[in-house]
Amino acid sequence: MRAPLLLILAVVSTPVFAVEIDGRIDPAEWQGARHVTDFRKVQPLSLEPGTLPTEGWILATPEGLAIAMRNQQPVDTRTRQRVRRDFEEQVDRVNLMIDYDGDARTGYNFTVSSTDGIADAVITNENQFNDDWDGNWRHAVSEDETSWSVEMLIPWYIAPMREGKDGVRTVKIYLDRVIGSTGERSAWPGASYTRPRFLSDFAPVEMPQYDQSLLAVTPYVSGLYDNISGDSDFDAGADIFWKPNGQFQLSGTINPDFGQVESDDLVINFDATETFISDKRPFFTENQGIFEFTTPSDYSQLLYTRRVGGPADDGNGAGDITAAVKLNGSIGATKYGVFAADEADEVGRTFGAVRVVRDLAKQNLGAMVTYVDRPFLDRTATVMGVDHNWRPTARVSVETRVIGSQIDEHGRTTDDNGATMWVNYEMDHGWRQQWLAMHFGNELEINDFGYLQRNSTNYLNWQVMRRFTDLPKESRYASKDWRARISGTDNDHGDRLQRQLRISREGNLRNGSYEYAQININTSGVDDLLTRGNGVVDKPSNFNAYFEYERPRKGDWAWDTEAEVFSGGLAGNDKIGYNLRVQPTYFISDAFSVYLGGFYERIPSWLVWQEDNLIGEFNERMLQVDAGLDWTITNKQELRVKMQAIGLDAGLEQAYRVQPGGASIASDDVVNDFSVRNLGFQVRYRYEIAPLSYLYVVYGRGGYQQDPFTERPGDLLRDSLELRDDEQLLVKLSYRFEL
């Protein structure tokens, strides 16, 4: 055996005694582990030694990758707040992030708070986190007078990974700890997700290669009682996960539910573009990273899993998923993924996708093809994309995407393409630059299976940024990040949509709070979506200024505030609108909090399409209330109550007919005032029986009503509490059997 391999096995090997995950770091258990002490500040990004000492241990065992972290911290500065899974609260916590293949394609984040709350997420595109995924891994926390400690064990079956070489695997690892009271983050190595390169900067760690096989079956049963119709409905299904080795994984689902236990935020959308909603269904989040193919356009992706089981093509309810299957793995340096799903009945659709990626020394290349058959619409859609990520130096990264679509509908074929490129350049003394270009053709269509907010786009921007981390100690800020950007957007017909100057500043305060301020100055242009294909609308120059402030829990209170001032519509800068959101949270105890927030908005020149080339300009006022409670009864039990109520009033100012040249001419067409009431209310109890095995009891009520008259937003909000279009009680039980 070669000498380097002997050294690796001697330094990182399984000790005689197995690691017991109890939060107590026993030196005998961790003998032979890699010991890490050089934790550097990455928030603020000064790369100075962390204020409080931190130690980490990394150890490969047959049962999984074991991690321990000891965090020195005075008792009186530790946060005691209990958090639910996938929490976002500013509390004391540690993070382990792993790129199993070391190719900067996909990483996994495992978070443990000082009160043993956990979060997990998938990392793609270097620094994009998605917490919809939940993994099965072990963790424990302990504390003493000088420090608190965490132990984690991440099974080898948690994710697909390439085969090692000569019995050795090289993974890339990142460890950090966050001090909740100040927001300071110190990490090893000194990588930051605020930089364009994050996964690429993880530290390579060689360790013995271990493999684990797993067969897991998660059946579920659910019962739903509809209090409006008086009907009951019982359902059952199952998710299956099989990993015979590290290079292959297969998952399937039979009759999955559509996530009735989740509560999406209310959205009132009169725009021409679709609202993006994330997916929480376990099958569709498990090992989904291989299928990540995004562009710089907001939320855009070639495979948007909410399409599967989404609104049926006949407009009656949601599609009924019969079954779906997903497999992924690797052959040498090439990784692949296959996805297929089928819906029932004559309105059902068939979905398919194939993904291949290959990692090279300083770049990786991938391709993806999706296909959807929609027989009810006599439509098929095929989309192909090629993505290329190039890291020529440690300072420069280049990401390129090329997309093409072919749509066959009623015997007519249309095809088009799109391409994007963005270049990031990390300079000295906190300076950075970014160049971004996008082109989406008029006939490019990826929304049969993917998500693209709009096609017919040509976009360019240049952005310069500077980060300040060496602020005086007496400053209330720990760091500031200034950005200036100029951009231009045209559609693919040559119409100018917008030219914009944006200046923003991000600030992290020494008390752990966060600030963000932004101002946009926009030239005149046209809106080519408002009339739904019936001509463009000339719009004058306008602006908007936005401010956000988040203060984590101090004593019994936490605060979240947003404010915006803007102009727009046909009035341009002659009419000013505004909105304000304030949401305080009161902590009755470390485990029990209540919140009551309000949002008020006024848009004096709100444009709403009516029909053909007819639009209405309205004076819109909206009042929204968000209220609820979060009770983390134990780390396995939680009770959540969430209520959102909206009252929207829109009084007509003037009706307009849009002329072929884009001018809006006042019209005598009858356009009614209108008002909207919307309600969403949910009480949800969740009990974790075993890892990834849950009992849910959920009561939900909601409704939506639009009327052709105006009313004060406060009265509409009060009346919305009486809405009762839906009222249901759901009980769902799922249990994961590991064989």
* Cα dihedral 102→104→107→112 (10° resolution): 90
* C-alpha–C-alpha distance, residues 158 and 150, integer Å: 19
Identify whether 49 is preceded by a cis peptide bond (ω within 30 of 0). no
Note the pLDDT tens digit of each residue in 201-251: 999 999 999 989 999 999 999 999 999 999 999 999 999 999 998 889 999
Spell out the domains of the chain, with CATH numbers in brackets. 3-212 (2.60.40.1190), 529-739 (no CATH)
- 368 phi and psi angles, rounded to 5 deg: -145, 140
What pLDDT sits at residue 394? Answer: 87
597 neighbors 603 (Cβ within 8 angstroms): no
Q: Which residue has the higher pLDDT, 267 or 413?
A: 413
Residue 236, pLDDT score:
93
Per-residue pLDDT band at 361 (split at 50, 70, 90) = confident
Burial class (CB in 10 A: 0-12, 13-18, 19+), 729: middle
Which residue from 149, 198, 139 is spatially nearest to 174, judged by alpha carbons? 198
Paired residues of 118 in beta bridges: 112
Q: What pLDDT sits at residue 15? A: 42
Tell me which residue of 204, 124, 122, 211 sits closest to 164, measured CA to CA: 211
Is residue 259's pLDDT more than 80?
no
| Beta-bridge partners for 466 | 431, 482
Q: How many other C-beta atoms are found inside a 10 Å radius of the C-beta of residue 477?
A: 16
Distances (CA, A) of 531 to 272, 536, 578, 660: 8, 7, 25, 12
d(CA 730, CA 223): 6
Dihedral (C-alpha) 303, 306, 311, 313: value to the nearest 10 degrees?
Answer: 20
| Coil, strand or helix at 601 | strand
Q: How far, in Å, CA of 251 to CA of 283, rounded?
A: 7
CB 290 within 8 A of CB 337: yes
In angstroms, rounded to a whole number, what is the distance separating the alpha carbons of residues 132 and 85? 11
Per-residue pLDDT tens digits for 455-493? 999 999 999 999 999 999 999 999 999 999 999 999 999
Residue 260 — very low, low, confident or very high, per pLDDT cuts 50/70/90?
Answer: low
Is the pLDDT reported for residue 648 higher than 60? yes
Percent of the chain with pLDDT over 90: 84
**Whole-number mean pLDDT of the chain?**
93
On the question of pLDDT at 16 being above 70, the answer is: no
Stretch (H or E) spanning 54: strand 54-61
CA angle 407, 413, 415 (to 5 degrees): 60
* Contact criterion met (CB below 8 Å) for 132 and 111: no
Please, is 127 exposed, middle or buried when counting C-beta atoms within 10 Å of its C-beta (0-12, 13-18, 19+)? middle
Q: If pLDDT is split at 50, 70 and 90, which confidence band does 739 have?
A: confident
In this prediction, residues 46-65 reach a mean pLDDT of 96
The residues, any chain, with a CB within 8 Å of residue 497's CB and separated by 6 or more, are: 489, 490, 491, 525, 526, 527, 528
Residues contacting residue 7 through CB under 8 Å, at least 6 positions apart: none
Q: What is the 3-state secondary structure (H, E, C) of 386-448?
A: EEEEECCCCCEEEEEEEEEEEEEECCEEEEEEEEEEEEEEECCCCEEEEEEEEEECCCCCCCC
Q: Of the ranges 169-173, 359-363, 388-392, 470-474, which one carries the lowest mean pLDDT score?
A: 359-363
pLDDT tens readout for residues 673-723 = 999 999 999 999 999 999 999 999 999 999 999 999 999 999 999 999 999
CB 63 within 8 A of CB 69: no
Q: Report the pLDDT value the prediction gives residue 7, as an integer from 0 to 100.
A: 37
- The predicted model scores a pTM of 0.90
CA dihedral 99, 104, 108, 113 (to 10 degrees): 90
DSSP symbol at 127: T
What per-residue confidence (pLDDT) applies to 588? 97
- pLDDT score at 4: 41
- Is the per-residue pLDDT at 9 higher than 70? no
Decide the pairing of beta strands 412-426 and 637-658. unpaired
Per-residue pLDDT for 49 more than 80?
yes
pLDDT at 441 exceeding the cut of 90: yes
Question: Residue-wise over 1-27: b if at least 16 C-beta within 10 A, else e?
Answer: eeeeeeebbeebebeeeebebebebee
The confidence score (pLDDT) of residue 318 equals 87
Query: Are 517 and 505 a contacting pair, CB within 8 Å?
Result: yes
Contacts of 249 (CB under 8 A, 6+ apart): 160, 241, 242, 243, 287, 327, 328, 329
* Structure confidence at residue 297 (pLDDT): 87
Q: Closest Cα partner for 487 from 498, 495, 473, 472?
A: 498
Q: In this structure, are residues 479 and 516 in contact, taking their beta carbons and an 8 Å threshold?
A: no
Q: Do residues 479 and 508 touch, judged by C-beta distance below 8 A?
A: yes
User: Given the structure tokens 């420069």, which residue do they identify?
Assistant: 396
Residue 10 has pLDDT above 60, yes or no: no
Per the CB < 8 A criterion, the answer to whether 532 and 272 are in contact is yes
What backbone torsions phi and psi does residue 498 show, to the nearest 5 degrees?
-170, 150
User: How confident is the model over 308-320, as a mean pLDDT?
Assistant: 90
CA distance 711 to 721: 15
| Amino acid sitting at position 251 | S
Of residues 11 and 472, more confidently modeled = 472
pLDDT of amino acid 5: 41
For residues 11 and 32, is the Cβ–Cβ distance under 8 A?
A: yes
Q: Quickly count: other Cβ atoms within 10 Å of residue 224's Cβ.
A: 18
Please determine, for residue 356, whether its predicted confidence score (pLDDT) is greater than 60: yes
Going by their DSSP bridges, the two strands 726-734 and 674-690 should be labelled as unpaired
Are the C-beta atoms of residues 26 and 151 closer than 8 Å to each other?
A: no
Structure-token match 């595109």, residue found:
125
Whether the CB-CB separation of 563 and 579 falls below 8 Å is answered with yes
pLDDT for res 132? 86
User: What is the mean predicted confidence (pLDDT) over 550-576?
Assistant: 96
Element housing 545 (H / E): strand 542-554
To the nearest 10°, report the CA torsion of 657, 658, 664, 668: 0
